[in-house]
Structure 1
Amino acid sequence: MKNFILKSISFVFHPLIMPLLGTLFYFSKTPRYIPEPIMKAKIFSIVILTIILPILLFFLLKTINKVNSIYLKSTRERLIPLFINCIIIFLILLRVLPPTELIELYYFFLGILCSTFICFILAVFKIKASIHMIAAAGFFMFAINIGVYYHININGTIALMMVILGAIATSRLHLKAHTNQELILGIFTGFTPQLILLNYWL
């Protein structure tokens, strides 16, 4: 039962869903008026580009034996998916979230791009960082940024995210997917770009 729960945590909080969670969190907390059709269009585009497209590309890469599992366990497996993800995030910044429209989300995704690129560079040098922790820590820092920016109380969200971060870390350790050092490296790779970029839109 314990093994099932910890595996489920890794699956439910897969890195692919974090950009969508960050987007939904932003739309639920921002006091700015954003027409509903625009919100739906942005959410739909992000679902297609950050979840559905990567999944389809994963099956393509698996078919041609470039990856073995969706968790990308080796640094060699990570290179192509991370590079493709960099391109996808860049296209989102270019077409879906230009800085003139939703600056907070623009910098959130710019932070995601920076974290993904850092993870790619680490993989080139055969250094493994937890992508789960990168994604979760990036969302966690973005949530804090939104709370600071709009002066709203998100203590409940912060507490929940800390529990989730702990659960993800426990899950990855239990499954022997990462070492403590790889988890810590993932956390720093995820939240540092979000923290640095806060200076540009706060």
Structure 2
Amino acid sequence: MDRFLRLGAYLLHPLLMPTLGTILYFVFTPRYVEMDLMRAKLFAVAIVTLLIPIITFFLLKNLGVINSIHLETTKERKIPLMIQCVLLLLIIKLVFDAYDSPELYYFFVGILFSAIAALLMVILKVKVSLHQIGIAGITMFLIVLSIHFKINVLPWISAFFFFNGWVASSRLHTKSHSYLELIIGFFIGLIPQLIVVNFWL
């Protein structure tokens, strides 16, 4: 059980959520998207939201700015979150268009608002769960996609609610977060996605 709970934090890491959300969109959208364009968009998202943050992590670790990948203190989280906000802005400006891909465009706008909210919490010395923010945001996005495209993805939505519980249990098991930090993280991830729905649903 210990290994199972710890595995949830790695498989559902917040850095993976933007790429996973993009994949889910391309899987479920009824719109025709050229395979080359789909690959290019996925590749761009993976590089900007996954590869660059990993490289940045090793750079910051070598500089002594952060001590571990877990970012255990609010001080360690400040610079990575600032960098994440800039990278998300790049995605919004250069990768997705509000007219051609409104669903993904506003999905990333929602992620940006969540990252800014997490940064504000860090400034206020509150260490919210980034894992919970990520999985809650993508769960809300999936629910809205099912409504928008009028498709039945209830098994997937159920799976993601399970993933929310898995992540929360994992963070509690490792004593990484308190109940309050997980609850705040859940709503920071969910509410921005709910707000931006008004612009594309």
TM range (shorter): over 0.9
What residue is the counterpart of 1:166 in the other structure?
Answer: 165
- Aligned-pair identity (%): 43
What residue is the counterpart of 1:70 in the other structure?
Answer: 69
The answer on 1:115 being equivalent to 2:149 is no
What residue is the counterpart of 2:181 in the other structure?
Answer: 182
1:71-110 to 2 correspondences below 5 Å: 71-110=70-109
Q: Distance in 2 between matches of 1:41 and 1:28?
A: 15
Q: Which moved more, 1:156-165 or 1:4-13?
A: 4-13
The answer on 1:201 being equivalent to 2:197 is no
What residue is the counterpart of 1:49 in the other structure?
Answer: 48
TM-score, normalising length from structure 1?
Answer: 0.98
Q: Distance in 1 between matches of 2:126 and 2:162?
A: 27
1:138-177 to 2 correspondences below 5 Å: 138-177=137-176
TM-score, normalising length from structure 2?
Answer: 0.98
Q: Distance in 1 between matches of 2:193 and 2:109?
A: 8
Q: Distance in 1 between matches of 2:3 and 2:67?
A: 21
Unaligned 5+ runs, structure 2 = none
For residue 99 of structure 1, report the CA deviation from its aligned partner.
1.0
Q: Distance in 1 between matches of 2:5 and 2:45?
A: 27
What residue is the counterpart of 1:124 in the other structure?
Answer: 123
What residue is the counterpart of 2:26 in the other structure?
Answer: 27
For residue 24 of structure 1, report the CA deviation from its aligned partner.
0.3
Q: Distance in 1 between matches of 2:68 and 2:174?
A: 14
Q: Distance in 2 between matches of 1:188 and 1:71?
A: 21
What residue is the counterpart of 1:60 in the other structure?
Answer: 59
Q: Distance in 1 between matches of 2:11 and 2:76?
A: 21
Structure 1 runs of 4+ aligned residues shifted over 3 Å read: none
Which amino acid is the alignment partner of residue 105 of structure 2? Y
What residue is the counterpart of 1:5 in the other structure?
Answer: 4
Which amino acid is the alignment partner of residue 159 of structure 2? L
For residue 6 of structure 1, report the CA deviation from its aligned partner.
1.6
Q: Distance in 2 between matches of 1:66 and 1:4?
A: 29
State how many pairs are aligned.
201
What residue is the counterpart of 1:16 in the other structure?
Answer: 15
